[in-house]
Amino acid sequence: MGANQPIHMTTTDSPLNGREVSCSWLIWGAEAGSFGGAVAALEAIAVSQGADAVVAVRVVTVSETRTRFRFLSGESIESRVAYQAYGTAIRYE
């Protein structure tokens, strides 16, 4: 597949029916500030490694940061969550 071609990503645990898998490996994406960003990061890494698909995609919360600000009018707390996606990358024969 070309670097600009989308790959098949699914939350199911099995590859496409009728396709023989030549190899598979566990793959992790980079941390991102959103659920969609985590999935996009995983897809980009899978494409760079030559995967045809990623199955059993899961997204987990890897960190949560709370920041406290003090203003003249009171106190404000900001929360940021980081997500990371992982799955099984596969290459078809």
The pLDDT tens digits of the residues spanning 7-30 come to 777 777 777 777 889 999 999 999
Give residue 82's identity as a one-letter amino acid code: A
SS3 of 68, please?
strand
The residue count of the chain comes to 93
User: Kind of pairing, strands 8-9 and 53-71?
Assistant: parallel
pTM given for the model: 0.74
Q: Which residue has the higher pLDDT, 4 or 28?
A: 28
Sign of CA dihedral 76, 36, 21, 15: positive
3-state helix, strand, coil in the chain (%, to 5): 15, 55, 30
